[in-house]
Amino acid sequence: MGVSALNLASLLCDEVSLAGFGYNLSQQGAPLHYFDQLPMSAMLRQTTHNVDRETQLLQKLVREGAVTDLTGGVHCSFCPS
């Protein structure tokens, strides 16, 4: 849903900023979302997410200036470069 919303926002808005995107799969007990109790390890069981591809897409959008990463989740120290 997040990437779909990002796609729609990029079509409708002059500026798009991200907050809280990015997954630190090395910290499997960390919270996945701010709004529920799911741990990060739940992402590994989801077949609808390709975390590597999503990260690559988000990093490219930030690098090209298409979106702004407000919280550093996309370009964080644990993300592949």
Q: Is residue 16 part of a domain?
A: yes
Q: Is residue 78 part of a domain?
A: no
Cβ neighbours, 10 Å, residue 61? 20
Q: Which amino acid is at 5?
A: A
Q: Look up the domain containing 20 and give its range.
A: 2-69
pTM value > 0.75: no
pLDDT tens for residues 29-80? Answer: 887 777 888 888 887 787 787 878 888 888 899 889 899 988 887 765 444 4
Q: Is residue 79 part of a domain?
A: no
36 alpha-carbon distance from chain centroid = 17
pLDDT value of residue 79: 47
pLDDT value of residue 76: 55
Q: Is residue 80 part of a domain?
A: no
Provide Rg for the chain, Cα atoms: 13
Per-residue pLDDT for 81 more than 60?
A: no
Query: Count of domains in the chain?
Result: 1
Q: Is residue 30 part of a domain?
A: yes
Q: Is residue 22 part of a domain?
A: yes
Task: Compute the mean pLDDT over every residue in the chain, rounded to the nearest whole number.
Answer: 81
Q: Is residue 74 part of a domain?
A: no
Instruction: Report how far residue 24's alpha carbon sits from residue 77's, in angstroms, rounded to the nearest whole number.
Output: 10
- Residue 26's contacts (CB-CB under 8 Å, 6 or more residues apart) are 78
